[in-house]
Amino acid sequence: MTTRTLLTCGIVAAPLWAAGSLAQAATREGYSLLREPLSMLATGPLGWIQIVNFIVSGVLSILGAIGLRRVLGASWAPRLVLINGAGMIAAGIFTMDSQPYAHMAAGTITFGCLVAACYLLGKRFGWRSLAAGSALLVGDLWAMSGAPAGSLTLAVGAIAAMMWISVVSSRYRQDLSVVA
């Protein structure tokens, strides 16, 4: 695959996951984002939709990370984005109802790598990258504390950080267009 194609995968990963997750959250009977994390959408008869969403978005994130590796070289940010993608795949395989501890471990690794990647990209992109990573860090800590609307704050933080990685991929893809 070309670097341009790989970066396109990275651009698509977050919006696809966010749109798929939020559409299900809005339409799933009995589901409330105020009470339950988006991962709970992978349970029940329609859970397969969120499982596929996790796995496809994870694969796209891994491919995007390979594209970032090509433009950034052997730095930590692409590695962390790749681990984030692998964690998303694991979160899809190990659902909260069948393997809750494996799912939580996958989420912890995924979110930690995503926060770290955003902070590392802050060297190149400044405050926006730091804000995206901090949104996820605060959202995750808020949710883990059992605070009100923790699932909502976690979703907002996760989507913000994931979307930032898509923006970064888009910026580097545009730079390839200028060079080519």
Task: Give tens-digit pLDDT for 6-43.
Answer: 999 999 999 999 999 999 999 999 999 999 999 999 99
Three-class HEC string of the chain: CCHHHHHHHHHHHHHHHHHHHHHHHHHCCCCCCCCCCHHHHHCCCCHHHHHHHHHHHHHHHHHHHHHHHHHHCCCHHHHHHHHHHHHHHHHHHCCCCCCHHHHHHHHHHHHHHHHHHHHHHHHHHCHHHHHHHHHHHHHHHHHHCCCCCHHHHHHHHHHHHHHHHHHHHHHHHHHHHHHC
Global pTM?
0.94
Q: What integer pLDDT is reported at residue 178 of this predicted model?
A: 56
Cα gap 175→71, rounded to integer Å: 10
Q: Where are the domains of the chain?
A: 3-174
Q: Is the pLDDT at 177 greater than 70, yes or no?
A: no
Angle at 160 between CA 86 and CA 154, to 5 degrees: 80
Task: Give tens-digit pLDDT for 109-124.
Answer: 999 999 999 999 999 9
Q: What is the mean pLDDT of the chain?
A: 95
The arithmetic mean of pLDDT across residues 144-155, rounded, is 94
Residue of 50, 24, 14, 35 whose CA lies nearest to 152: 35
CA 74 to chain centre: 21
The arithmetic mean of pLDDT across residues 94-121, rounded, is 95
